[in-house]
């Protein structure tokens, strides 16, 4: 029998090597395009895109065109390869989730397709996937709402108000935000343990507090977006007697739909797929308090479980990925507008 754990580790190493090579190729392509852009001289090109060259350079221009065609072909081939590499894991995940019986690594295409793995997820009483899903959804919704409100209020205050120590505070939060959150995991664990929020019914609340803490340090993109909104709107509203809160909720927020969507999506996806912090705080609790990431890992944490439940694990991965994909699909244009709009000013 093939050792599935060893196969998974080998596959992860191989994927890492391939992704590293792809990144190197992408960097080379970008460098080439930048160099081509720098060598390009618009003064020598007519309205029809024909180079103004002398008779002696006619054949050189043809050779340059052939060279550009070869380079373009190579770039498109690399883009196709990159797309296949990125799409293949999702394709493999879906195929495995529809596989009947136990998992075998010898064949890629299932001999028989079935939806029994998805049915098992919502009917099995031992793992209780539905409860995990509801817990994760509740945490993600609450955290995204609170994070969005705190982030936008902080960004608006730093964008519109001028007070002593403002720039120093902005620099301090920006530098502090560069440190990863897991540096304080030991301190967080003992604080929550003293509050009775480790491995108990309150562990979900403790996990929410951890996700919400430090939210204001992600203000920078939102502040850049608010900087693009004219301050004359605030001044006109103040002349009419509006307060800061009224201006923010009645005038600024309706104009800030892109950055609101971008902040909500970013705050939602973090808790939705988090395993490290969730396992640290909620992992010691009962089955009913776990999140999807913890539960799915426990389905394959041993060799025997991986052999029996790997197809079900892939089915769970497909179910978990549906909601974020749908959200990004319908909110993509707002997300892109929020990111690009917030990166104009600092």
Contact between residue 51 and residue 58 where contact means Cβ atoms under 8 Å apart:
no
In this structure, the answer to whether residues 18 and 162 fall within a common structural domain is no
Q: Are 72 and 147 members of one domain?
A: no
- Any domain includes 54: no
> Over the Cα atoms of the chain, what is R_g?
26
312 and 250 within one domain: yes
Q: Same domain, yes or no, for 273 and 167?
A: yes
Name the residue range of residue 299's domain: 122-342
Instruction: Retrieve residue 215's tokens.
Output: 């939210």
Q: How far apart are CA 116 and CA 97, in angstroms?
A: 9
Query: Distance of CA 276 to CAs 33, 91, 291, 337, Å?
Result: 39, 26, 11, 31
pLDDT in tens, the chain (346 residues): 445 555 555 555 655 666 666 666 666 666 565 555 444 444 444 444 444 444 444 445 555 576 777 777 877 887 788 888 888 888 888 888 888 777 666 677 777 888 888 988 888 888 888 888 998 999 999 999 999 999 999 889 888 888 888 888 888 888 887 777 777 788 888 888 888 888 777 888 888 888 888 777 778 888 888 888 888 888 898 988 888 888 888 888 888 888 888 888 888 988 898 888 888 888 766 667 788 988 888 888 888 888 888 888 888 989 998 898 888 888 777 665 555 554 454 4
pLDDT score of 9: 53
Give the residue from 81, 97, 113 where a domain finishes.
97
Q: According to the model, what pLDDT value does residue 14 have?
A: 58
Phi, psi of 111 (to 5 degrees): -75, -25
Q: What is the pLDDT of residue 139?
A: 92
By three-state DSSP, how is residue 99 classified? strand
What is the DSSP code (8-state) at residue 110? -
**Close Cβ partners of 282 (under 8 Å, ≥ 6 residues apart):** 199, 203, 204, 207, 289, 290, 291, 294
Residue 248 resides in a domain: yes
> Do 150 and 298 belong together in one domain?
yes
Residue with tokens 């969005």: 148
pLDDT score for 3: 53
For the whole model, what pTM was predicted? 0.73
End-to-end distance of the chain based on CA atoms, in angstroms?
57
Q: Which single residue is written with the structure tokens 């720039």?
A: 167
CA distance 79 to 311: 30
150/257 same-domain check: yes
Sign of CA dihedral 275, 279, 283, 288: negative
Q: How many domains does the chain have?
A: 2
For tokens 């373009």, name the residue: 72
Specify if 228 maps to a domain: yes
The CATH number linked to 273 is: 1.10.3720.10
In a domain, 40, yes or no: no
One domain for residues 170 and 24: no
82 and 168 part of one domain: no
CA distance 136 to 28: 40
Does a structural domain hold residue 300?
A: yes
Retrieve residue 95's tokens. Answer: 């195929």
Of 135, 250, 116, the closest CA to residue 203 belongs to 135
Asked if residue 5 lies in contact with residue 306, where contact means CB atoms within 8 angstroms, the answer is yes
My answer on whether 195 and 77 are in the same domain is: no
pLDDT at position 184: 78
Has residue 42 been placed in a domain? no
Contact 143, 212 (CB under 8 A): yes
Burial class of residue 51, CB neighbours in 10 A (0-12, 13-18, 19+): middle
- Listed in sequence order, the residues at least 6 apart from 147 whose beta carbon sits closer than 8 Å to its beta carbon are 211, 212, 215, 218, 263, 267
Establish if 44 belongs to a structural domain.
no
Find out whether 147 and 212 touch, Cβ atoms under 8 Å: yes
> Is 256 found in the same domain as 319?
yes
DSSP per-residue string spanning 171-202:
HHHHHHTTS-GGGGHHHHHHHHHHTT-SSSTT
Are 166 and 223 a contacting pair, CB within 8 Å? no
> Based on the domain organization, do 147 and 275 belong to the same domain?
yes
* pLDDT confidence of residue 51: 44
DSSP notation for 21-62: HHHHHHHHHHHHHHHHHHH--GGGB-TTS-B---GGGHHHHH
Q: Is residue 289 part of a domain?
A: yes
Question: Quick one: 73 and 165 in the same domain?
Answer: no
């Amino acid at each position: 029998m093939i050792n599935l754990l060893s196969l998974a580790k080998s596959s992860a190493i191989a994927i890492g090597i391939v992704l590293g090579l792809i990144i190197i190729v992408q960097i080379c392509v970008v460098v080439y395009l930048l160099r081509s852009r720098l060598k390009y001289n618009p003064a020598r090109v007519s309205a029809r895109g024909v180079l103004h060259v002398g008779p002696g350079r006619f054949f050189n221009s043809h050779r340059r065109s052939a060279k550009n065609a070869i380079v373009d072909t190579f770039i498109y081939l690399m883009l196709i390869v990159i797309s296949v590499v990125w799409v293949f894991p999702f394709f493999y995940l879906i195929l495995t989730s529809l596989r009947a019986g136990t998992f075998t690594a010898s064949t890629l295409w299932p001999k028989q397709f079935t939806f029994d793995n998805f049915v098992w997820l919502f009917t099995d009483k031992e793992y209780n996937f539905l409860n995990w899903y509801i817990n994760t959804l509740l945490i993600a919704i609450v955290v995204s709402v609170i994070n969005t409100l705190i982030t936008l209020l902080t960004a608006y205050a730093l964008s519109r108000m001028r007070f002593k120590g403002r720039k120093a505070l902005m620099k301090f939060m920006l530098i502090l935000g560069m440190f990863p959150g897991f540096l304080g995991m030991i301190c967080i664990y003992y604080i929550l343990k003293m509050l009775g929020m480790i491995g108990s019914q309150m562990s979900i609340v403790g996990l929410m507090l951890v996700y919400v803490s430090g939210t204001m340090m992600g203000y920078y993109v939102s502040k850049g977006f608010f900087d693009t909104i004219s301050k004359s709107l605030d001044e006109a509203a103040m002349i009419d007697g509006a307060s800061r809160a009224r201006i923010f909720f009645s005038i600024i927020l309706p104009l800030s739909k892109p950055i609101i969507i971008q902040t909500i999506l970013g705050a939602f996806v973090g808790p939705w797929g988090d395993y490290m912090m969730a396992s640290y705080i909620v992992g010691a609790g009962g089955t009913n308090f776990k999140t999807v990431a913890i539960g799915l890992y426990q389905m394959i944490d041993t060799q025997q479980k991986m052999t029996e439940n790997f197809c079900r694990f892939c089915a769970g991965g497909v179910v978990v990925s549906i909601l974020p994909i749908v959200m990004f699909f319908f909110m993509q244009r707002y997300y892109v507008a929020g990111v690009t709009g917030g990166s104009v000013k600092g």
